[in-house]
Structure 1
Amino acid sequence: MGEFVTRFAPSPTGPLHLGHAYSAMLAHDRARAAGGRFLLRMEDTDLQRSKPEWEAAIIADLDWLGLTFDGPVHRQSPKIPDYNRRLEGLADAGLLYPCSCSRGDIRAAVSAPQEGVVHPHYPGTCRGRPMSDRQPGDALRLDLGRALARLGPDLPVFAETGPGQAGDHRIDPDQAITRIGDIVLSRKGEDIVAYFLASAFDDADQGITHVIRGEDLFDFTPVQVILLHLFGLPVPVYHHHRLIRDEAGKRLAKRDDARAIAKFRDEGASPQDIRARVGLLPV
């Protein structure tokens, strides 16, 4: 596969916490051990919630942790027109349809999945609507059944190296349709582009060979693999790591400010203390 290239891709919508730090340090350690590259990408397509001050705080925390990045910071927001052009390709192939579901449902659907947050399976209410029927405010959904049919009988395989899921995984069409369904890829008029689409295309555009992220995203990896195959783009190796949890076993999230890296730092913790807290060896 050549040079090992991975990335850390936070959304600048809140503070960096222990779970983020674990993911960033794990990716950094693997890239450096392989003599490869480690990139920083800000997934800031949520233009309402993404803030420059959060980006600056994240970068400051990563710098304090001793993580070094190769090349400039990559930001998704300037690439929204590029994502939309790729959406036009899917529309031209007859793989998209407009959807007029509620704005709240659409906003939830375009965000990265979160453990413990279950979105109702989309029943296909708008499936069959032609693109010519698209109205202001309509979202665009991928017709997953058509997309899978377009790929034919030789469905994609992706490699996984994470604990508990290691090995080659062939996408099961029935399972994909049942568990994932017709996902939202964008919403017109708000410049909202789904995590699934922007992240997958950026991985290809940046030459990412290994994607290292939390196990809560494993079930949605087939969607990104399908999108990459539809465009003839390379598929990286995936590593979905364990999640960092609190004392009650709950996954940490941005709202857990008590576990924000900045607070640990202000209370006198060292970068090596943070590594110890998440079970990584000192460097």
Structure 2
Amino acid sequence: MKNICSILILLIFTINSFAQDKTFCPTYTFEGYIETDKGQKLDIDFRFLVLLDSTLVGSYYYKPKNGDLKLVGHLNKDNSFELVERDNNETITGLLSGKVSKNKSSIDGLWMSPEKNKVYKLKLEKTKSISYWDFIKKNRSLFEYKNIKLAIQESEKVLSIDVDNQRLKIIPKQISKLENIVSFNLGGNSFEKFPKEICTLTSLDELSMSSSELTYVDKEIGNLKNLRILILNFNQIKSLPKEIGKLTNLLYLELGRNQLTTLPNEIKYLTNLQELHIENNKLSEVEKKRIKSLLPNCVIHF
């Protein structure tokens, strides 16, 4: 699934370059703090991914409600690193440098302002938290079927399907035979109706229907309780069913560039959601505030 939408713009461009490599590198999740010159410790959650050429990409946040900051840089052979920090407007907001321990269990370093007139201590410890990046990494290493009919014929083997931009209008009912599939990319197609057949694939942990001319999402979406990543951006969706709240394992939800004016109260049950993209919809400031209150531990991009 190479069209993975807007999961950290800089991260996506780099990930796509390595989409099918079996040796895709692991994700690291840390917690720690940045200590200011006044001795105040600002708690942060920090994630990064080391790619095959030692490019380091990631993000971190202080408080979920304030959004996250993107990171990109390089990990050197001696485990030292340099990172550039950017906000959602791609403005450089900081520079990070330091060293990762050999077993990737801790980070010690410095945060510096772009003007280099402020320098703060950075200290992090690895956690066991699961990130949606872990699923991206895992699924990108799988063999992708490009033909649905062939996938149905070889249903027992199928773990991943990518039929992006094939102008599909329907999904064969026999798709239910794919009992082991974990990743399905249906982006760039032309569905006149939401394909309910997808909702029989309860083993899915990643589903993309970006740019598929969808105007609604069927309530059967609630059957996909194993989903960790759901991508529905660049459609014409005006509302979501309350059954979206049944996707309690969801870690990443992409709803950008639709026609949404509100989200159902049931999103409050998505307590594992790490990141929600809902840019370029028709949400009022009051609705944005309500969504933040329903998802207090989620990084939300409006």
Q: TM-score, normalised by structure 1?
A: 0.26
**Does 1 or 2 have the higher relative contact order (CA < 8 Å, sep 6+)?**
1
Q: TM-score, normalised by structure 2?
A: 0.25
Q: Which has the larger radius of gyration?
A: 2
By percentage of residues, which structure has more helix? 1
By percentage of residues, which structure has more strand? 2
